[in-house]
Structure 1
Amino acid sequence: MSDATSTDHRMRTDSRTDRVREILIVVANPTVSSTTNWPVGFWGAELTHPYYELSEAGFRVTIASPSGGRVEMDGLSDPRDPSRWSAEDLITMGFVNTPELVGLLEETPSLDSLDLSRFEAVLIAGGQAPMFTYRDNKSLHHTIRAFWDAEKIVAAYCHGVAALVDCDLEDGSALVAGRTVTGYANVEEDFVDRVAGVQVTPWRVEDALRERGANYIGGGLFKAFAVRDGRLITGQQQYSSRKVAQAVIAAIGV
């Protein structure tokens, strides 16, 4: 249908192909923190902000989780939460108040059920649950290696970088070894522990990345910061998730 007769009033984006282009976002399955006993999940903005950026750029986004099924965001990341910790997050507010979008969280596909060849990039979101469920997750490691071996973009941010820490490549080397990366910083862990009055996470992303041979860099306390090292893109914390999505779009082109 020509532009003159089309009823599609949405913003037009330039694309180098007419085929549907797909990107995968992975969010954590809910669990219970072993350090605080809080119910934990994924951080809302780490899904909703990249989802917005990628969808607006014309990509079809699939939301999946390692085990599949219902997923839940961390309470403090819900802008409706009485704490008002994320009350200024209008993108997440729009997401949770759009039935067809929030419905995507009710029954996410598992990673093992997906044809990963459909997707041009994978983004791995963080939150509190990843610190208890991501580091040794075989499905996540298989997914990361599948994208890496296919020479596609792998992105992770905040505590989602936990999925990269112990992910080894086919030759047995650590994916992050010798690569410049970022992730949730020790200064941010110190801040959160002080506010909560308890050690919130059982280990720290920055320390673990360094131990695996990565060149860890940060942008400062709660500064939006992302870094690209070839096909590996990482973001520091929840405020960096849009920068990660923008870097992914730039890396694969539209």
Structure 2
Amino acid sequence: MRIAFLTAPEGVEQVELTEPWHALAKTGETPQLISTSPGRVQAFRHLDRGDTFPVDGTLDEVSPAEFEALVLPGGVANPDALRLNPKAVAFARAFFDARKPVAAICHAAWTLIEADVVRGRTMTSWPSLRTDLRNAGANWVDEPVQVCNEGPNTLVSSRKPGDLKQFTEAMLREFGKVSA
């Protein structure tokens, strides 16, 4: 199973990229780092530069049809850049159109708001996105993780790095990698 991790070239929260990635890789899945530009992605540890990670493919090189699921890591700059990129927004929306599972953490909900796929969904996020999500038609809850099956596909959302254990467990369960 190939799973896309969509990030901008700079600004992804490192732990929100690496923990779900490693959890999926341990199950034998093939995570793929997809970005808007080739080369390497610069991750951050909050406001400090972290490691860089090689891009496996760009939005010009891959299709959502090649993947079974999508993970949207957060950070502030990462989803803010993605939501301004029409190809990134279309890529995310395609997973909803194809009824494939999506997992989003922290500020990643911004990309989903721009893709117009949160209306009628119950989800969580970094608290500062509460009003953005409500204005986009979502039911925002302050929980470590929220699994929403109220639309055509499963959406797993989470608030912050401190919730990664719950997020990763729910993501693995909903992606069919562990039993419920």
Q: TM-score, normalised by structure 1?
A: 0.62
Residues 177-192 of structure 1 correspond to what in structure 2 (within 5 A)? Answer: 177-186=119-128
CA–CA separation in structure 1 for the residues paired with 2:45 and 2:15: 12
CA–CA separation in structure 2 for the residues paired with 1:60 and 1:241: 20
Residues 14-33 of structure 1 correspond to what in structure 2 (within 5 A)? Answer: 21-30=1-10
Q: Does 2:46 match 1:123?
A: no
Q: Is the 8 A contact 1:53 1:242 kept in 2?
A: no
Picking from 123, 127, 139, the partner of 2:87 is: 139
CA–CA separation in structure 1 for the residues paired with 2:108 and 2:2: 20
Q: Is the 8 A contact 2:16 2:73 kept in 1?
A: yes
The offset of 1:245, in angstroms, is: 3.0
Q: Is the 8 A contact 1:183 1:236 kept in 2?
A: yes
Decide whether aligned partners of structure 1 residues 242 and 120 sit closer, same or farther in structure 2, where only a CA change above 3 A counts: farther
Tell me the residue number matched to 1:163.
111
Tell me the residue number matched to 1:42.
12
Tell me the residue number matched to 2:146.
227
Residues 49-198 of structure 1 correspond to what in structure 2 (within 5 A)? Answer: 49-76=19-46, 105-130=53-78, 132-168=80-116, 175-186=117-128
Picking from 204, 207, 212, the partner of 2:136 is: 212
> Helix, strand or coil for the counterpart of 2:60?
helix
Tell me the residue number matched to 1:236.
159
1:158-211 superposed Cα distances (whole Å, 9 cap, x missing partner): 01111011213xxxxxx111110111113xxxxxxxxxxxxxxxxxx2211111
The offset of 1:70, in angstroms, is: 2.1
CA–CA separation in structure 1 for the residues paired with 2:118 and 2:156: 11
1:23-72 superposed Cα distances (whole Å, 9 cap, x missing partner): 11112222xxxxxxxxxx11110111001111112211111113333211
The offset of 1:241, in angstroms, is: 3.4
Bigger CA drift: 238-247 or 55-64? 238-247
Q: Which has the larger radius of gyration?
A: 1
Q: Is the 8 A contact 1:71 1:108 kept in 2?
A: no
Pick the structure with more strand per residue. 2
Tell me the residue number matched to 2:169.
246
The offset of 1:239, in angstroms, is: 2.3
Decide whether aligned partners of structure 1 residues 228 and 60 sit closer, same or farther in structure 2, where only a CA change above 3 A counts: same
Identity of aligned residues (%): 29
Q: Is the 8 A contact 2:33 2:54 kept in 1?
A: no
Decide whether aligned partners of structure 1 residues 119 and 130 sit closer, same or farther in structure 2, where only a CA change above 3 A counts: same
Aligned length: 173
Q: TM-score, normalised by structure 2?
A: 0.85
CA–CA separation in structure 2 for the residues paired with 1:242 and 1:51: 13
- Residue 178 of structure 1 aligns with an amino acid whose one-letter code is G
> Helix, strand or coil for the counterpart of 1:248?
helix
CA–CA separation in structure 1 for the residues paired with 2:90 and 2:84: 11
Decide whether aligned partners of structure 1 residues 49 and 77 sit closer, same or farther in structure 2, where only a CA change above 3 A counts: farther
Q: Is the 8 A contact 1:121 1:153 kept in 2?
A: yes
Q: Is the 8 A contact 1:182 1:216 kept in 2?
A: yes
CA–CA separation in structure 1 for the residues paired with 2:31 and 2:156: 18
